[in-house]
Amino acid sequence: NKEILQVKDLAVAFQTYRGKVKAVRNVSFDLKRGQALGIVGESGCGKSVTAHAIMGLLPKENSIIENGQILWQGQDLVNFRDEDLAKIRGNKIAMIFQDPMTSLNPVLTIGTQIKEVLFLHKQLSDKEATEKAVELLNLVGIPFAQKRLKDYPHQFSGGMRQRVMIAMALACEPELLIADEPTTALDVTVQAQILDLLKSLQEKLNMSIIMISHDLGVIANICDEVAVMYAGQIVEKANVDDLFYHAHHPYTRGLLKSLPHLNLNKEDKLYVIDGQPPDLKETIDYCPFVKRCIKAMKICMQLMPEKTQLNKDHYVKCWLEHEFAPKENREEF
Ligand code: SF4
Ligand code: MG
């Protein structure tokens, strides 16, 4: 099972009026066919920027890929010309976003919009495109598909609109679907339905998924592997079970503690990680989590933690795990 995507030492910076912001700092990961990777972290951690870099959707005016490679089946997308990237985007790699309303055209019917996508990628007659559109709506669980093709976006509920967006993303049979907070705007029940849908489509179509979310609960439902991002870096990466049951990075543990549990007592407040991430304009040559970390040691302020491999699929960037870290700081919390 070969990697279809390999991101290597990716660094992305933005020029802002306040100065250069280093939003993604040497991010690396691989993705195999049919595999689902979750990228979790709070807003501004670089997870969406990573996705946009893969899609070739970084704003040209003020962003730059400063370093690294994005290998799509061995070819480096970083050096691709726009027209070649456009062929991969929406064809091999598709993306869905948080708010379907902003991505759908309010004055065109759903049918017209799905067929537009189909015509862009396939030689089809109008009749064939209509049939394919019905098939896609059926696939994403929209009832009365034939009839609903004539409806406009506002005639669909939020959950149904997200299903339409997924149908459009699937129109060209992508090998990789990138979902950026796809359920954040939806209520909990609908969120669960959309996640179930994505999971079943992934299995049915043997599609790879990168699921981006601030919510570990969302990631748990879908993903085989999880990368935790903080201040532009991956600070811990593991398969989903190790991440949930054997998390080592204090930030990951904080995220886990902040998950709502079904058996939450009335008195139990949700855990919140105090403080702010560091300013990404600065060079950070210490642990970026140090100001918020209840386990911080002296070394954490002096040196960037090195990667410690805990098993084949699990690594963490934290001095607590490093062989030179003082032992007395290793107690559970
Ligand atoms: Fe906390 Fe130090 Fe680990 Fe950073 S390296 S997460 S400050 S213990
Ligand atoms: Mg985002």
- Ligand 1 centroid – CA 198 distance (Å): 35
Ligand 1 neighbourhood includes 235 CB (under 6 angstroms): no
ipTM of the complex: 0.96
The DSSP secondary structure of 279-328, one letter per residue, reads PTTS---S-TTGGG-TT--HHHHHSPPPEEEEETTEEEE-GGGSTTS-GG
In angstroms, what CA-CA distances link 192 with 209, 217, 320?
A: 17, 10, 36
Please state which CATH number belongs to domain 3-92+174-329. 3.40.50.300
Q: Is the CB of 97 under 6 A from ligand 1?
A: no
Question: Relative to the CA of 251, which ligand 1 atom is closest?
Answer: 6
Exposure on the CB side of residue 310, measured as CA atoms within 13 A: 20
- Per residue in 163-205, pLDDT (tens digit) is 999 999 999 889 999 999 998 888 888 989 999 999 999 999 9
Whether pLDDT at 48 is above 80: yes
Contact between 72 and 5 under an 8 Å Cβ cutoff? The reply is yes
pLDDT of residue 187: 87
* Residue 169 tokens, joined: 């993303």
Ligand 1, residue 299: give the atom nearest the CA.
Answer: 2
> Is the pLDDT confidence value at 299 over 80?
yes
Nearest ligand, CA of residue 278?
A: 1
The span from the CA of 250 to the CA of 252, in Å, is 6
Tell me the CA–centroid distance for residue 42 and ligand 2, in Å. Answer: 8
Higher pLDDT, 324 or 312: 312
The count of other CB atoms within 10 Å of the CB of residue 285 is 9
**Mean predicted confidence (pLDDT) in 12-17:** 94
Q: How far is CA 100 from CA 32, 77, 106, in A?
A: 28, 26, 11
Q: What is the pLDDT of residue 330?
A: 47
To test the pocket of ligand 1, the residue of 273, 306, 320 to mutate (highest count of ligand atoms within 8 Å of its CB) is: 320
Q: What string of DSSP letters covers 151-193?
A: --GGGS-HHHHHHHHHHHHHTT--SEEEEESTTTTS-HHHHHH
Which pLDDT value is given to residue 332? 43
Q: Which atom of ligand 1 is nearest to the CA of 319?
A: 5
Question: Which are the contacts of 212, defined by CB distance < 8 A and separation ≥ 6?
Answer: 38, 39, 40, 47, 48, 51, 178, 179, 180, 181
Please tell me the predicted confidence (pLDDT) of residue 266.
54
Chain-centroid distance of CA 137 in Å reads 24
pLDDT for the residue numbered 230: 97
For the Cβ of 299 lying below 6 angstroms from any atom of ligand 1, the answer is no
Tell me the mean pLDDT in the region 210-238. 95
Q: Give SS3 for 271.
A: coil
Question: Does the Cβ of 319 fall within 6 Å of ligand 1?
Answer: yes
pLDDT tens digit sequence for 92-122: 999 998 876 678 999 999 999 999 999 988 8
SS3 content of the chain, % helix, strand, coil (to 5): 35, 25, 40
For ligand 1, whether the C-beta of 317 sits within 6 Å is no
Q: For residue 297, which ligand has an atom nearest its CA?
A: 1
Alpha carbon 262 to chain centroid, angstroms: 25
* Confidence at residue 331, expressed as pLDDT on a 0 to 100 scale: 45
pLDDT at 133 over 80: yes
Q: Which has more pLDDT, 67 or 329?
A: 67
At 269 the pLDDT is 61
Does any ligand 1 atom lie closer than 6 A to the CB of residue 293?
Answer: yes
Is the pTM higher than 0.90? The answer reads yes
> Which pLDDT score is estimated for 275?
87
Cβ(250) to ligand 1 under 6 A? yes
What's the CA gap between 269 and 215, in Å, rounded? 17
What whole-number percentage of the chain has pLDDT above 90?
Answer: 73
d(CA 48, CA 53): 9
Q: Determine the pLDDT at residue 333.
A: 38
Mean pLDDT of 120-129: 92
The percent of residues above 70 in pLDDT, for the chain, comes to 93
Element (H, E) at 196: helix 188-205
Q: Using one digit for the tens of pLDDT, what is the confidence trace for 65-94?
A: 999 999 999 999 999 998 898 889 878 999
Q: Select from 235, 284, 285, 289 the residue to mutate for testing ligand 1; criterion: most ligand atoms less than 8 Å from CB.
A: 289
Long-range contacts of 258-264 (CB under 8 A, 24+ apart): 259/216, 259/217, 260/217
Q: What pLDDT score does 327 carry?
A: 59
pLDDT in the model for residue 188: 86
Give the H/E segment covering residue 111: helix 110-121
Segment 262-277, tens digit of pLDDT: 545 555 566 778 888 9
Residue ranges per structural domain of the chain: 3-92+174-329, 106-173
- Ligand 1 pocket, residue 304 CB under 6 Å: no
pLDDT of residue 260: 75
For residue 288 and ligand 1, the question of a CB distance below 6 A is answered with: no
Ligand nearest to the CA of 41: 2
124 Cα–ligand 2 center, Å: 35
Candidates 235, 297, 332: which one to mutate for ligand 1, based on the most atoms within 8 Å of Cβ?
Answer: 297
pLDDT value at residue 151: 97
Residue 8: count of CB within 10 angstroms of its CB: 16
Q: How far apart are CA 6 and CA 53, in angstroms?
A: 13
Average pLDDT over residues 28-35: 96
Q: Are 242 and 314 in contact (CB under 8 A)?
A: yes
Cα 178 to Cα 172: distance, rounded to the nearest angstrom? 14
Whether residue 24 is predicted with pLDDT greater than 90 in this model: the reply is yes
